[in-house]
Chain A
């Protein structure tokens, strides 16, 4: 190839560019995460080790069973019956998403999108609601009236 002189430095520059996040993080090991565990409970749904490793799979299985199989009760390895619900079960004991789930997830840079819909305990009161009045005006000026 006659353009190798241009192409190869180009490829190197590109590789460097896309790996920037990796290089900037290099050598900066963060301290091990310390999620705040519930005080009034002793046991999780399954063993601590299992939960730490497999909680994402467990949650996925739960939501599959609840939404698609119409099953809402989970029987854990000890035979205990548990209501399969992220918002109403996990977060009943782990009362803070910030101090529990996020602590680990920030560490491993995982961002489960679940909280786009599932309401974390911190946000039970709701969100900054848009001023409906001004919106109505905005909306009515933007769109044609529908015919009745």
Chain B
């Protein structure tokens, strides 16, 4: 996945991707920040890239909002630590969550260096205004995160966030295929990834 943050900057404040994702996946809107659930959200540069930020950063970048989500890492630490294989890596590279198996030990949350995972500290249903009847909710006691819209990919659709972005800021493709459009974009632009030095191999790229 490549996110062109220049496009996002041009259309601030825009939350279409977040709204779409959270609606189709029945992500609750919990006002208590401690119990918050989020699959995709916004961060400032210094929080999205804490070890790349510095005090001489140009203002333009400083103010820009960055969309963050699960990086579907090449070597995901969450998968390594999960004691039940409730979170696992699919052959196509997507880091998937099996809500049926999760015991809620939250080891994956400690392991994720991107804070991409949320735990259901309480029943999420009272916080879902307009449920999408085609997708399940979650229940208290399980961990959840972005699943790269596996249910939509299976139907041949794009992930909800990509489809929702009217400005084409988010694109997805097959990194393993050297001739794919996404690889072309990556060759042509300078991109950043979050915390590459940790060796997790994040698969979300940011055009600055």
> Which residues does A use to contact B, with CB under 8 Å?
63, 67-68, 70, 72, 87-88, 113, 116-119, 121, 123-130, 132, 135-136, 138-139, 142-143, 146, 148
Contact = CB atoms under 8 A, between A and B. Distances in A.
Interface string B136-169: 1111000000000010001000000000000000
A83 to B, nearest CB: 10
Contacts of A68: 88, 96, 98
Contact of B31 (A124, A125, A132): A132
Interface residues of B, number: 32
B100 A67 contact: yes
Contacts of B154: 70, 72
Nearest to A145: B33
Interface in B13-37: 26, 29, 31-34
Given A88-B134, A143-B34, 14 more contacts: A67-B100, A68-B98, A70-B90, A113-B139, A117-B138, A119-B136, A124-B133, A126-B129, A126-B130, A126-B131, A129-B126, A132-B31, A146-B33, A148-B44
Q: Which of A63, A117, A125 has most B Cβ within 10 Å?
A: A117
A89 to B, nearest CB: 11
Interface of B: 26, 29, 31-34, 44, 47, 88, 90-92, 96, 98-100, 125-131, 133-139, 150, 154
Contacts, number: 70
Contacts of A130: 126-127
A136 to B, nearest CB: 4
Contact of B139 (A72, A116, A126): A116
Nearest to B44: A148
